[in-house]
Each structure stands twice: as structure tokens, then as C-alpha cells.
Amino acid sequence: MNLFKTSSLAALTMAGAFTLAACGSSADSADSTPGTDGSTKLIVATTVSPLTSITSAVAGDLVTIEGIVPEGTNSHTFEPAPQVAELLSTADVIFVNGLKLEDPTIDLAEANLKPGAEIVEIGTLVLPESDYLYDFSFPEEEGKPNPHLWTDPSYAIEYADVIREVLSERLPEDAPAFQANFDAFATEVAKLDEAVRADQPSVPEDNLKLVTYHDAYAYFAQNYGWTVVGAIQPDSFDDPSPAEVARLVEQIKAEGVPVIFGSEVFPSAVLEAIGNEAGVRYEDSLRDDDLPGVPGEAQHSLLELLRYNYSTMITGLGGNATALDAIVFEVPADNAIYPQ
């Protein structure tokens, strides 16, 4: 689909405002599945928190949504605990990112899938193999493409559209509500896209370059015209070798990168040392999939995660984030369960 790769998302900001649906009759229908808490709503399990956040934005409170991967966890190496099998055995729909991100969870889901339930690999559906990106953290010879599509707003929209379609097939009487929720979410994402495009020209010429610990921004960089100079973390998820460190230090100096970015999920003394050796600042607070705030707060959303990352990158590289900081997101209450 890739609706927004070459143009602004502003086209989604429609003249008639859509209202997010908060309730509906079919959630308690006889066709829905009883949950472990006695609920008769459709049960949806999700993996990483950005996926949970998008699902909640589309579904409202029409379904029961429960995440699997605790926030702040390395989702690439996450091994689900045995008790996760109970959730997977009761879920009607299991949304996963795919692209080899959650293979142990998918294996457990397949072993416990109840009749009529489905596993939906959203990233695998929306990203054609011809568009796979590989890099230092995700080398092509390993066969695992970079799976971090959700850090690019265009893919956040595509994820939401897949979720809308799947839920509408499951609960056709609620399809108009899911469509309205999707449209409202798309409008909020359009605000984010417009703000990034307004703020990034404030970055000095030739400074739109990223050196990160974990390469979670490859698709974002491709869409917005940034350059990913390098990622510190190799595919083994260990620290890089001394030789690799030396090459990166030289590359950082050669590229004139003013700041290198770490992740709060992957703290790295090595990246800090690289910054010191290269004579550049080390910013260690980017968020890959750990939403800001706590569950239930308006701040706890993918939209706010992306706003924080983009603002941090733009200001760190010498620009200002006036438009990003001015956004007021209009988001519904998020009643999904996020494991902490």
C-alpha cells in the first residue's frame, strides 16, 4: 500500500472530523469468546507495545486487548513465559509484527491456537520483500530484515489499516466504528508527519545523519531523507568488536555527525565510549518500543513515543522541534493491558 512514502500525510486530515468510537453492541454478542476475566468481548493479543497502542486506537473498547511483551524488554530476544500460553489459547486474534521479530511467541501461539483463531503478521503483510532493509544489526545473510516499521508514520498507518480490516471481518456490525477510529488515528499521524517535515529543515545542512545503538529507524530515515551512518549493535545483540568500534569512530569523524543516539532499552557503555573517542555527544534516551508514561495515561501511546524520538533527534542534530512540541494529540482512552 505505502500510501505516504512520497507525499505528506496531510491528505488524511479531512474536512469532516471523525469521532473515535468508544463502545458498540457487538462486543457482547454470542459469537464472541469468553475471556479469563469473564468478558465476552473478542479477545485480541498483541506483542510489542507500539502494536498494542495502534490496536487500541483502532478498536476502542469494542474488544479486549492484551499485550505480551513487557515494555522495556528486548523484543528480539524475548522468550514468552509459560503463562503466556493461556492468553494465546483464549485469543481470537493474535497480532504480531512478523519479519522474524517474535518467532518464539509465534511458535507458542501456533502450539496453543484455538479453533477459529488467527495469527496476523502485520509487518510481513505490509512490507514487500523487495522493500526489506538490511543493515549492521540486521545483515542480509542472516535472513532477518529490519522489523522496525512502526517508527515510520506511513507504516503506522498501514498497520492500523490491517488491524481495521481484520477486526471488521470479525465484527462486521462494528466495521463503521473501526473505520471511524482508523480515520481519526490517521489524522493524528498526519499531524506528526507534518511537524517532522516542518522541523527537520531547521537542522543544519548535512546533519540529518543517524548513528544509533540499535537500528530502529531505517524505514523512517528512508522515508524522510535522512542518512543512517551506522548502528553499533551487531546482529548477535552483543557489543561490537574492537575492530568494529574503531571503524565506527572513524566513520563518525568522517561524516561529521554531531551526536550519536542510544536506546533506553539497550543501555551501552560502548556507545558512550565511542562518542567520547569521536568527540561527539551521546544521547541515550531514544525509545524503540517502550511507550512514555504509564498505561492509562494519554502520554502512553505510540504517537507520543514517535514525537519524543523525532524531537530528540532533530534538536540533538542542531535543529529545533517547534512544530513537534506544539502538537496536541486527540486520542481516546487506552484500555489495553500492557505488561510491565
Residue 340, all three cell numbers: 510491565
Pair 235, 142: CB distance under 8 Å: yes
Residue 337 lies in a domain: no
Tell whether 111 and 223 lie within a shared domain.
no
- The number of distinct structural domains making up the chain is 2
Nearest CA-CA partner of 158 in 15, 12, 60: 12
**Is the per-residue pLDDT at 30 higher than 80?**
no
User: What contacts 13, CB < 8 A, 6 or more positions away?
Assistant: 187, 190, 191
Tell whether 132 and 57 lie within a shared domain.
yes
Pair 322, 199: CB distance under 8 Å: yes
Residue 3 lies in a domain: no
Residue 248 lies in a domain: yes
* Integer Cα distance of 177 and 64 in angstroms: 15
Tell whether 164 and 262 lie within a shared domain.
no
Of 195, 227, 242, the one marking the end of a domain is 195
* Integer Cα distance of 310 and 287 in angstroms: 10
Tell whether 170 and 22 lie within a shared domain.
yes
Tell whether 40 and 151 lie within a shared domain.
yes
Residue 2 lies in a domain: no
> What are the respective helix, strand and coil percentages of the chain, to the nearest 5?
45, 10, 45
Tell whether 184 and 224 lie within a shared domain.
no
**Is the per-residue pLDDT at 16 higher than 90?**
no
Residue 247, all three cell numbers: 571503524
Of 144, 172, 195, the one marking the end of a domain is 195
Assign 262 to helix, strand or coil. strand
Tell whether 44 and 136 lie within a shared domain.
yes
* Integer Cα distance of 77 and 71 in angstroms: 13
Domain assignment of residue 278, given as a range: 201-326
Tell whether 147 and 267 lie within a shared domain.
no
Q: What is the pTM of this model?
A: 0.87
Nearest CA-CA partner of 55 in 152, 173, 149, 165: 165
Condensed to tens digits (0 to 9), the pLDDT of residues 124-168 reads: 999 999 999 998 778 899 899 999 999 999 999 999 999 999 999
Residue 334 lies in a domain: no
Of 167, 195, 223, the one marking the end of a domain is 195
Tell whether 95 and 37 lie within a shared domain.
yes
Tell whether 181 and 269 lie within a shared domain.
no
Tell whether 24 and 145 lie within a shared domain.
yes
Residue 277 lies in a domain: yes
Supply the CATH number for residue 45's domain.
Answer: 3.40.50.1980
Tell whether 174 and 209 lie within a shared domain.
no
User: What contacts 278, CB < 8 A, 6 or more positions away?
Assistant: 249, 252, 253, 257, 260
Condensed to tens digits (0 to 9), the pLDDT of residues 65-94 reads: 999 999 988 888 899 988 899 999 999 999
* Integer Cα distance of 142 and 139 in angstroms: 6
Condensed to tens digits (0 to 9), the pLDDT of residues 191-250 reads: 999 999 999 999 998 999 998 888 889 999 999 999 998 877 766 667 778 888 888 899
- Block residue for cell numbers 545503538: 213
* Integer Cα distance of 265 and 278 in angstroms: 23
Residue 14 lies in a domain: yes
